[in-house]
Amino acid sequence: MPSHSKDTRLPLAGLRVLDFSRLLPGPWCTQMLGDLGADVIKIEQPGNGDLSRHNPPSYRDSSVYFNSVNRNKSSLSLDLAKPDGREIAHRLLAQADVVVESFRRGVPAKLKIDYDTAKTFKPDIVYCSITGFGQTGLYAGIPGHDLVVQAATGLIGAAASNGPATVPGFQAGDYAAAAYATIGVLAALYRRRDSGVGCYIDTSMFDSLFSMCNIVLTSGMAHIAGNRGAQAMEVWGANPRYSIYTAQDGRAIAVSLLEAGIWKSFCHLIQRPDLVSENESPSDRHTSHGERSAIYRKAIQDYCSSMPRHQLIEKMLSADIPISPVNDPDEALQDPHVRDRGLIEWIEHPVEGRIPQIANPLAVSGLVDARRRGAPALGADNDAILESLGYNEAERTQLRRNNIVGS
């Protein structure tokens, strides 16, 4: 593999990001920007701060969740409802390159930190709003929570095509918005470099996840185009070669034997060449395999049931066949491939001590900061930030006494 110099300038070095966001999409986006070298200031309400600070489980004191999406940031606790708090925010806006916020529609304008206000202080600012359903449309006023977003996009309904709908185990709407927000900010910064023009980015969890549901929505797309007889793409469990099975010890296994070549290799490995159909075509890949479905399913389950999971996985690994364990969180963190890829790293936290972090996958490319800083305590950087804005010691003391900033 190519080597990367540790002295290489990070892509966003020298840029300042104001993070008015909370919970998941915005903080994940700004953490990525911080990993890429930006100076990120997280601005929170004094007292409780970002509500994700209080999400279980915790290390010694602080939330594992909060620490996972707020590294490489400074923290300023600031009451934006008070004029003096807004004055501090305006001084920050004048120095900022990027703003990311996740308030409900209309709240930034009430707090005087909206895009129209921001661009009076910094005309070329890149301003990203993240909401559940966007700034316009029928659902715009609904608070954004991942479950309702996944439901509205059709994702949960598609996954429930072969059984009852269930609460998903992954926050797809949150992370979709975080990813699109990051892409949007980077694209706007790249354009600004050449044009000098700023940008307002309206990012919603709904729009972002909907755009990633291109596979989920294929049947519906065929229908609205007039093809009501189109066969549905089967990726939800009815395909016996793309499903979950159990090993002899009762532990779950994920089986992905979609392609004809992989299926043939598996069948020969288990000494069942009779299962290979010479008439199979690429169009059979994502189907239930019709009358052969029950035969395939029984053969796969019989083989999986013939040995403990670890033994089965070893055999599949040696043959490069995509059958994997269904890991629980503890098992996933200890998976040898996670170790081989360097996906867990340890950092020194000023309060928690040595804590694990999930590594940024861009680290192997030399694009992100290898010197991680743990998530900040609420208001940990109040004095340093205020001093950089020109507030002297007496003024900072008065701001604390008036509860404009946290103590």
CATH number (domain holding residue 329): 3.30.1540.10
State residue 233's pLDDT score: 80
CATH code of the domain containing 197: 3.40.50.10540
Token pair in block for residue 334? 């200890």
Do 157 and 290 lie in a common domain? no
Do 124 and 67 lie in a common domain? yes
Do 106 and 159 lie in a common domain? yes
> Are 405 and 76 in contact, with CB atoms under 8 Å apart?
yes
Query: Is residue 5 a part of any domain in this protein?
Result: no
Do 34 and 111 lie in a common domain? yes
Q: Per the omega criterion (within 30 degrees of 0), is the bond before 57 cis? A: yes
Do 66 and 186 lie in a common domain? yes
Q: How would you classify the pairing of strands 323-325 and 252-256?
A: antiparallel
| Domain around 102 | 16-213+343-401
Query: Is residue 233 a part of any domain in this protein?
Result: no
Look up the pTM and report it: 0.94
State residue 350's pLDDT score: 86
Q: How many angstroms separate the CA atoms of 354 and 254, rounded?
A: 34
Do 201 and 318 lie in a common domain? no
Query: Is residue 355 a part of any domain in this protein?
Result: yes
Q: How many angstroms separate the CA atoms of 217 and 223, rounded?
A: 10
The per-residue pLDDT string of the chain (407 residues; one tens digit each, 9 = 90 and over) reads 455 555 579 999 999 999 999 999 999 999 999 999 999 999 999 999 999 999 999 998 899 999 999 999 999 999 999 999 999 999 999 999 999 999 999 999 999 999 999 999 999 999 999 999 999 999 999 999 999 999 999 999 988 877 889 999 999 999 999 999 999 999 999 999 999 999 999 999 999 999 999 999 998 899 999 988 767 788 888 999 999 999 999 999 999 999 999 999 999 999 999 999 988 999 899 999 999 999 999 999 999 999 999 999 999 999 999 999 999 999 999 999 999 999 999 999 988 999 999 999 999 899 998 778 899 999 999 999 999 999 999 999 999 999 999 97
Closest CA to 62 of 402, 280, 374, 394: 374
Task: Tell me the three state secondary structure of residue 119.
Answer: helix
State residue 6's pLDDT score: 54
Task: Report the first-to-last Cα separation within the chain, whole angstroms.
Answer: 49
Do 347 and 316 lie in a common domain? no
Do 350 and 295 lie in a common domain? no
Alpha carbon separation from 39 to 32, 358, 372 (Å, rounded): 11, 20, 13
State residue 252's pLDDT score: 97
Final residue belonging to a domain, choices 306, 337, 368: 337
Alpha carbon separation from 159 to 100, 166, 213, 267, 349 (Å, rounded): 32, 9, 12, 28, 40
> Are 310 and 320 in contact, with CB atoms under 8 Å apart?
no
Query: Is residue 91 a part of any domain in this protein?
Result: yes
Do 310 and 349 lie in a common domain? no
Query: Is residue 283 a part of any domain in this protein?
Result: yes
Query: Is residue 205 a part of any domain in this protein?
Result: yes
Final residue belonging to a domain, choices 312, 337, 362: 337
Do 47 and 157 lie in a common domain? yes
Do 39 and 183 lie in a common domain? yes
What's the structural domain count of the chain? 2
Final residue belonging to a domain, choices 337, 362, 382: 337
Alpha carbon separation from 223 to 37, 288, 347, 403 (Å, rounded): 46, 20, 51, 58
Query: Is residue 237 a part of any domain in this protein?
Result: no
Q: Look up tokens 């004048």; give the residue.
A: 94
Q: How many angstroms separate the CA atoms of 42 and 96, rounded?
A: 12
State residue 7's pLDDT score: 57
